[in-house]
Amino acid sequence: MRTSPTILHLDMDAFYASVEQASKPSLRGKAVVVGGLGPRGVVATASYEARVFGVHSAMPMGQARRLAPNAAYLVPRFHFYRSISEQVMELLRALSPLVEPLSLDEAFVDLEAGGVAWDERSARLAGVKLRADIRAVTGLTGSVGLAASKMLAKIASEEAKPDGLVVIEPGTERAMLGPMSVRTLPGVGPATGDHLRRAGITTVEEIAEAGEDELVRLLGKAHGHGLYAMALARDDRPVVAEREAKSVSVEDTYDVDIHDRTRVGLEVQRLAERCVRRLRGAGLSGRTIVLKVRRYDFSTLTRSETLRGPTDDPAVVREAAARLLDSVDTTGGVRLLGVGVSGLADYTQEDLFAQAAGERAVAEGPVEEHSVAPVEEPLPLAERRWPAGHDVRHAEFGHGWVQGSGLGRVTVRFETPDSEPGRVRTFRVDDPDLEAADPLPLVLRGPEGGDRVPGVGSQAVSSVPASLPKSWSGSGGGAATSRP
């Protein structure tokens, strides 16, 4: 391991919910839950105000509504979240060429590789500046952990939440980890935690005291060796700049089971199109097409077909997915469908099936586009959907967001990221003056070049905070000694 805390882990605070609060002044300081709003939806992210009521990620949405009935429940805006995430990742890449994203809101950074940190003081300064820069660019907060290894940096960022910075100084790791729960260590989930608890092991210190042989006996060779090393704070994993994607996939869960075979086929075709768009967006192609079907009884079937070469041709993926569906019995109903592509490559190779289809098309004459794949026609005004939380614009009242819809009505709150909380108005769902809109930037450039952060009006925000954020550093004994 290193002798300086130059590995940084950034974790944005309640990312999806924080983005929604930043873009909607009326939701700041309120309980916000983002996720699927249907009967089978799950929570993607809950704001800290919602977590007070026990709401957390991956919880069924029905349970969340029972715990926090007065929270704002919003449909995710993943495209917008990705754009904000890219702003954050650009700030990380400015620090170092070695940035390892784990998700849209989380990443490791090797500060030493970027030459911006070489000891505890320089690493802390880099972390302080990063948090200030994120606030200035996005208006959001992130928690930073700094340590000599990836495992410890991630633990430090968790200790820093929300909106803090924690440095674990080399030499203090064992004392700091000792009293922590075994669940603190990566890879120790509920099942492993219960298994260890039944053996009388509840803290990291007790893992170290049990010894490697006992852990191997309890958990098996690979898991036992790995867990013992982590308990001793041993982690030599490097920060890897590019994590190779193994597959690209999309899936949908349906509020009501689909029984109509024709509808199932159309859904698979639509998912195949979405999958190819995502594949092309990443500049990739793939050889193996995968179909996932979860049936009415929760049984999940997976079928796959490997092509002769990688492809990003939507016709090829659609046809392969349709062939795979032919081998699945959907008589009892389908609750989830997914289409994926694996065996990825950064080049394409003409597929023989596609070539044959093309030759047939030439021989038989021109084919109308809709005969190959359904074209998504604009919905009639009366059939438009208004997802809760999504952006809209009204010809008279301007920009707003959907608070809810139903019974032929849609309720909109008109406000923007840098406005005061706005007024609420209700319209018919087919109102011709109301249309879907793109999200507005969370931070607007001020007239003198400063950034206007949501909730701050036109005040310019400096990239350096007036005082250090809350933080603590391990002393010789590894305890929390200061929180300025």
State how far the Cα of 4 lies from the Cα of 28, in Å rounded to an integer: 38
Q: Which residues pair with 247 in a beta bridge?
A: 342
Residue 103 tokens, joined: 């998700």
**Exposed/middle/buried for 199, CB within 10 Å: 0-12, 13-18, 19+?**
middle
Is 235 annotated in a binding site? The answer is no
Name, in order, each residue with C-beta under 8 angstroms of 416's C-beta and a sequence gap of 6 or more.
25, 398, 399, 422, 440
Residue burial 226-245, b: 16+ Cβ < 10 Å; e: rest: bbbebbebebeeebeeeeee
E strands present in 224-277: 247-258
Q: Which of 400, 442, 443, 403 is nearest to 422 (CA)?
A: 400
Helix (H) or strand (E) holding 272: helix 261-281
38 φψ region: left (φ > 0), alpha (ψ -120 to 50), beta (else): beta
Distance CA 310, CA 248 (A): 13
Question: Which candidate in 20, 49, 106, 415 is catalytic?
Answer: 106
- Whose tokens are 């590019």? That residue is 242
The verdict on whether residue 257 carries a ligand-binding annotation is: no
Q: How many C-beta neighbours within 10 Å does residue 103 have? A: 10
Is 273 catalytic? The answer is no
Q: What span, in angstroms and rounded, lies between the C-alpha atoms of 173 and 161?
A: 19
Q: How far is residue 13's CA from residue 160's CA, in Å, rounded to a whole number?
A: 10
- Annotated binding residues, as ranges? 11, 105
Q: Which residues are catalytic?
A: 106
Annotated binding site for Mg(2+): 11, 105
